[in-house]
Chain A
Amino acid sequence: NAGVTQTPKFRILKIGQSMTLQCAQDMNHNYMYWYRQDPGMGLKLIYYSVGAGITDKGEVPNGYNVSRSTTEDFPLRLELAAPSQTSVYFCASEGGGEKLFFGSGTQLSVL
């Protein structure tokens, strides 16, 4: 099992551009999450999903969208990127004794 795979690892965007952060898991987990982590801070929940076709907002959803068409994939869409969205983004899935399994993160800079 690869676990949770995030792509890309690094990305630089210009203000106003859009992009999709990809997240895939091969553990057949129903629950998936997107977090962002600003420098020196803890993780903040952006969106989560309890299964294919079901998504809901977390603490900081503004400026982001998600979809969950399959159990495996949970992409995060940034529309009209802003400097405030400069952060490290982590995707996670939940399974196996209610534990979170994290991807390696995507470092995004918006300039």
Chain B
Amino acid sequence: DAKTTQPPSMDCAEGRAANLPCNHSTISGNEYVYWYRQIHSQGPQYIIHGLKNNETNEMASLIITEDRKSSTLILPHATLRDTAVYYCIVRVDELNTGNQFYFGTGTSLTVIP
């Protein structure tokens, strides 16, 4: 069963902010929201994750709504190299369960020159 819902594709102009939405309406209290991206056919790359509070790192910002049912990944100044498939994943943080990451089909972001 899909735990997250993302739009299949989005475009963004180079230099502008890219805002990628994700719905996770059935998220439980101990599930984190993770974002990964996959450039061409490489292995996915970690971007950011959070539980309740908004998070920011050198790559992106993660905004989680107060009810935690949705989130937005923000790439503040998109470049052509940000063209990739972006995956939003919810995952339980439990010991000794494998903490499985289940990937959906993601959002294909195209940054346009």
Q: Closest approach, in angstroms, between the C-beta of A49 and any C-beta of chain B?
A: 8
A103 touches B106 (CB 8 A): no
B100 touches A88 (CB 8 A): no
Q: How far is the CA of A31 from the CA of B96 in the complex (A)?
A: 9
Given contacts A45-B100, A50-B98, contact A104 B42 (CB under 8 A): yes
Interface residues of B in 78-103 (CB under 8 A from A): 87, 93, 96-103
Interface size class of B (residues with CB under 8 A): 20 to 34
Interface residues of B in 24-49 (CB under 8 A from A): 32, 36, 41-46, 49
Interface residues of B in 55-113 (CB under 8 A from A): 87, 93, 96-106
Q: Closest approach, in angstroms, between the C-beta of B103 and any C-beta of chain A?
A: 4
A100 touches B44 (CB 8 A): yes
B43 touches A33 (CB 8 A): no
Given contacts A43-B44, A45-B100, contact A98 B93 (CB under 8 A): yes
A42 touches B96 (CB 8 A): no
Main SS of chain A's interface residues? strand
Interface residues of A in 19-34 (CB under 8 A from B): 31, 33
We find that the number of chain A residues with CB closer than 8 angstroms to chain B is 28
B46 touches A99 (CB 8 A): yes
Residues of the B chain whose Cβ atoms lie less than 8 Å from the Cβ of A31? 98-99
Binary contact readout A1-45 vs B (1 if CB under 8 angstroms, 0 otherwise): 000100000000000000000000000000101010000011111
Q: How far is the CA of A48 from the CA of B91 in the complex (A)?
A: 15
A42 touches B104 (CB 8 A): yes
Q: How far is the CA of A99 from the CA of B93 in the complex (A)?
A: 12
Residues of the A chain whose Cβ atoms lie less than 8 Å from the Cβ of B103? 35, 42-44
Top 5 A-B pairs, shortest CB-CB distance: A102-B43, A43-B103, A42-B103, A99-B46, A48-B98
Binding site for A on B (CB under 8 A): 32, 36, 41-46, 49, 87, 93, 96-106
